[in-house]
Amino acid sequence: MSERSKCMTHGDCCHPEWSEAGGCTNCGPLPPGTTLGGCKYGETRGQRIKPDPKRRLVTASIVVQGHAGSGDVRGKAHVTVSFYEDGAPCEVFARVAKTGTATRTAYEVWSMTASKALQYGMPLAALAKTLRGVRGELAGEILSPPEIAGQQTGSMWDAIGRWMEQL
């Protein structure tokens, strides 16, 4: 197993080079209680770390003003990211306002899959990067949250990726 999979923040997808100070080139020195040869969460790659029942959450309501064939439309998604005690993300959930549609089902399935990926060590930045640039339904201007308001987006997926990048 390579040592690049030891970073608690970036997990298995961490940068391949570690600093001479004994830490991730992106994060810096390892937290107390860890060593370059091991992580307090376990030694094996692919080990799932289940989140605690009580954890910190960050939620945003993403509103996009877009255009469809029949005129202006507004779309809304609620996105929640929860974090382990050490600050690493462990779950992400996205819900759209289209109740009972295949679109809503797709967001729910993506949320479950993305949460499992985070629990197996995939970085939130990697998930966000996969969503950036996705073109599709509801391209237009992001109205909220304030961190990304005013930006143009290619889809609601792209807007979610933009918000996750700034966490």
Structural domain count, the chain: 2
* 74 strand-pairing partners: 65
The predicted pLDDT at position 1 comes to 31
* In contact, 66 and 74? CB cutoff 8 Å: yes
The confidence score (pLDDT) of residue 23 equals: 53
Tell me, yes or no, whether 161 and 98 share the same domain.
yes
15 with 85, same domain: the answer is no
Task: Decide if 108 contacts 96 (C-beta within 8 A).
Answer: no
Whole-number pLDDT of residue 136 = 85
pLDDT reported for residue 70 = 58
DSSP code for 14:
-
**Could you give the CA distance from residue 116 to residue 164 in angstroms, rounded to a whole number?**
16
Q: Are 41 and 61 in contact (CB under 8 A)?
A: no
Residue 40 confidence (pLDDT): 42
| Domain range enclosing 78 | 56-165
All residue ranges of the chain with pLDDT < 70 are: 1-46, 67-71, 99-100
Check whether residue 28 and residue 68 sit in a common domain.
no
Count other Cβ atoms within 10 Å, centred on residue 116: 12
93 and 157 housed in the same domain: yes
Q: Both 92 and 126 in a single domain?
A: yes
| Cβ-proximal residues to 61 (8 Å cutoff; 6+ apart), any chain | 76, 77, 78, 144, 145
pLDDT, residue 151, reads: 95
Q: How far apart are CA 155 and CA 129, in angstroms?
A: 14
pLDDT at 69: 60
pTM for this predicted structure: 0.70
Instruction: List beta partners, residue 71.
Output: 68
| Two structure tokens written together for 26 | 């992106």
Query: Is the domain of 112 the same as that of 64?
Result: yes
| Other Cβ atoms closer than 10 A to 143 | 18
Contact 123, 10 (CB under 8 A): yes
